Amino acid sequence: VQLQASGGGLVQAGGSPRLSCAASGRTFSTLAIGWFRQAPGKEREFVAAITRNAGFTYYVDSVKGRFTISRDNAKSTVYLQMNSLKPEDTAVYYCAARTGIYIRTQPLEYDYWGQGTLVTVSS
């Protein structure tokens, strides 16, 4: 599976960019997808995830109510709509995929990773 994340850039605080993660190489609908982020000097952390059929989503507390994960299986793409961005949201954002039914929040539980897209939030 190849994953390509895009949509990052320099954003002002309060902005609302949307990240995309395009997949290829495997039937997309068999994959659960997660978004992670890694800020400078910090460990990679879970942000959000969505099940194969989009029936269930899960978010880290710090982004609940601000970020929305969604997917379009026809386009083999997952999105992360980010609203009300804060400077502390600055990080490289990665999408990751795993086979299986359930959402997981640990990076080691994901089988495939994209290259990451940098989101920088200015105050």
For 15-84, the three-class secondary structure string (H helix, E strand, C coil) is CCCEEEEEEECCCHHHEEEEEEEECCCCCCEEEEEECCCCCCEEECHHHCCCEEEEEECCCCEEEEEECC
Counting residues of the chain whose pLDDT is more than 70, the rounded percentage is 100
Is residue 78 predicted with pLDDT exceeding 90?
yes
**Which of the four pLDDT bands, split at 50, 70 and 90, describes residue 60?**
very high
CA-based radius of gyration for the chain? 13
Pairing of strands 9-12, 117-122: parallel
> What pLDDT does 2 receive?
95
Q: What is the mean pLDDT of the chain?
A: 96
